[in-house]
Amino acid sequence: MAEAIKTISDYTVNFDKIRDDFPVLNQQVMGKPLVYLDNAASSQMPQTVIDRINRYHSSEHANVHRGIHTLSQKATDEFELARKKVQKLINAEYEHEIVYTTGTTDSINLVANSFGRKFFSEGDEILISEIEHHANIVSWQLIGEQTGAKLKVIPVNDDGELIWEEYVEALNENTAIVAITHVSNALGTINPVKEIVAEAHKHDIPVLLDGAQAAPHSKIDVQDIDCDFYAFSAHKMCGPTGFGILYGKEKWLEQIPPFRGGGEMIDKVTFEETTYNRLPYKFETGTPPIAAGIGYSTAIDYLNDIGMEQIAAREQELLDYGTEQLQKIEGLRIIGTAKEKASVLSFVFDDIHATDVGTILDQQGIAIRTGHHCAQPSMRRFDVPATARASLSFYNNKVDIDRLVEGIKKAKELF
């Protein structure tokens, strides 16, 4: 018998109390209590992460890996501890499959350049979907211009769901890699990534998953998914900006060349040739964002203390409530209505521009994002210039959604 899907009532986490962990939420904007609903762009940091970063700067600051003095060794130990935690968080087989980057975009660029330079040739196809973030489009276009590889796009239906038959048909002997989002940042669509990977692997085609919007909202198991690469960012997971992760299967990381050159990624350097460091360091050049890595290590602890399953259940409850409430507003149309969906509510009015809605909401202390969300092809697919996007996190509550609804109604009245 299949295990029942858990709901928030199955857990005892006090999410209202958790709000107190986030100092940024305890302020007023435009004279109103802040409602922060821009989590898809960047989540907030709990006080424990802020304190850990401050402690590093005030008493532990030193460069990592090459120093023999006490501070350097301590900084190195703390910085490398994050790698162990990430390995466990996403269930990677080996610690050296975790590569530090500056974020999801940097991770995708690393694979596009390193994998592309090694394996792409004229006539190859890079299979992506119609609802990708620009980072998972432009990176591949750039390497395609150098190698002759071309993008091939899988369409989505009117709900924002991948058209499976089109995907299966698109896989062929010319497909060099599948690069696809796990969760759409513009629509919230959750793609069936395990099935996507399995279908690609039938043809021995590797798969990169853009996990920027999935890793903060659900438990990720890269061995179960069996993806070849997985990219995500700290700043969407209660951590600092400027730090990200690329997971890559050992077999691929061993084969592909470094993306950048410099210190740390080397083994031996002469004027005639350079040999490279072992994994994962051959991809990590120069002084890294040390404070950000240590802060992210603490953010992982914080998320684990709550539990990713509990976070997913909480956010699903909020998403269901928010969807129900927004659908009651006359003239409002939700863009992205997939059956499997994460914490994004994108919406439009036919007679009010999204930017105007966002401006009125900001005047009421409500932070959302408006525009194309670095997903212009998605906007074109749904024939809208932009959407207003409210994106949820576990520290939000139904009061936040009620404030959002009242703010939207006020915008309607004004326009």
Classify strands 125-129 and 344-349 as parallel, antiparallel or unpaired: unpaired
pLDDT at 12: 67
> Is 238 one of the annotated active-site residues of the chain?
no
- Domain of 190? 50-304
My answer on whether 323 and 380 are in the same domain is yes
Q: What percent of the chain has pLDDT over 70?
A: 97
Q: What is the mean pLDDT of residues 247-256?
A: 98
Report yes or no on 3 lying in a domain.
no
The answer to whether the beta carbons of residues 177 and 205 sit under 8 Å apart is: yes
pLDDT of residue 27: 96
Instruction: Decide: 114 and 285 in contact? Cβ < 8 Å.
Output: no
Region 58-69: mean pLDDT is 90
Mean pLDDT score, 245-267: 93
> Which residues are CB-contacts of 307 (< 8 A; sequence separation ≥ 6)?
11, 13
Residues 340 and 243 in one domain: no
Domain boundary among 258, 285, 304: 304
How far is it, in rounded angstroms, from Cα 397 to Cα 317? 10
**Chosen domain end from 304, 332, 352:** 304
60 and 128 together in one domain: yes
- DSSP strand pairing (332-334 vs 366-367): unpaired
Same domain for 207 and 275? Answer: yes
In a domain? residue 64: yes
Q: Are residues 113 and 12 in the same domain?
A: no
CB-based contacts of 249: which residues, under 8 Å, 6+ apart? 97, 228, 229
Residues 258 and 333 in one domain: no
User: What are the tens digits of pLDDT across the range 265-287?
Assistant: 888 999 999 998 899 999 999 99
Residue at 43 is within a domain: no
94 CB contacts (<8 Å, ≥6 apart)?
87, 250
How buried is 91 (Cβ within 10 angstroms: 0-12 exposed, 13-18 middle, 19+ buried)? middle
Q: Which amino acid is at 261?
A: G
Q: Say whether pLDDT at 173 is over 70.
A: yes
Nearest residue to 342 via CA among 366, 371, 308, 301: 308
Per the structure, the count of domains in the chain is 2
CATH number at residue 158: 3.40.640.10
Residues 226 and 365 in one domain: no
Compute the distance between CA of residue 366 and CA of residue 407 in angstroms, rounded to an integer: 8
For residue range 332-366, list pLDDT tens digits in order: 999 999 999 999 999 999 999 999 999 999 999 99
Residue 45 lies in a domain: no
- Asked if 293 and 383 sit in the same domain, the reply is no
* Distances, alpha carbon 415 to alpha carbons 28, 350, 369, 384, in Å: 25, 12, 19, 18
At a CB cut-off of 8 Å and minimum separation 6, what does 58 contact? none
Q: Which of 304, 334, 356 is the last residue of a domain?
A: 304
Q: Give the C-alpha separation, 268 to 275, whole Å.
A: 5
194 with 326, same domain?
no
Question: What is the strand order of the sheet 332-334 is part of?
Answer: 332-334, 344-349, 387-391, 369-371
CATH number (domain holding residue 17)? 3.90.1150.10
Phi, psi of 164, deg, nearest 5: -60, -45
The reported pLDDT for the residue numbered 7 is 52
Tell whether 28 and 92 lie within a shared domain.
no
Nearest to 134 by CA among 69, 66, 85, 181: 181
Looking at the structure, tell me whether residues 117 and 143 fall in a common domain.
yes
Instruction: State how far the Cα of 267 lies from the Cα of 280, in Å rounded to an integer.
Output: 12
Q: Which of 34, 163, 374, 405 is catalytic?
A: 374
Alpha-carbon distances of 216 from 45, 236, 296, 343, 405, rounded to whole Å: 13, 6, 12, 10, 25
Instruction: State residue 360's pLDDT score.
Output: 96
Of the pLDDT bands very low, low, confident and very high (cuts 50, 70, 90), residue 3 is: very low
At residue 264 the predicted structure's pLDDT band, cuts being 50, 70 and 90, is confident
Same domain, 372 and 400: yes
pLDDT tens-digit readout, 200-213: 999 999 999 999 99
User: Is residue 2 domain-resident?
Assistant: no
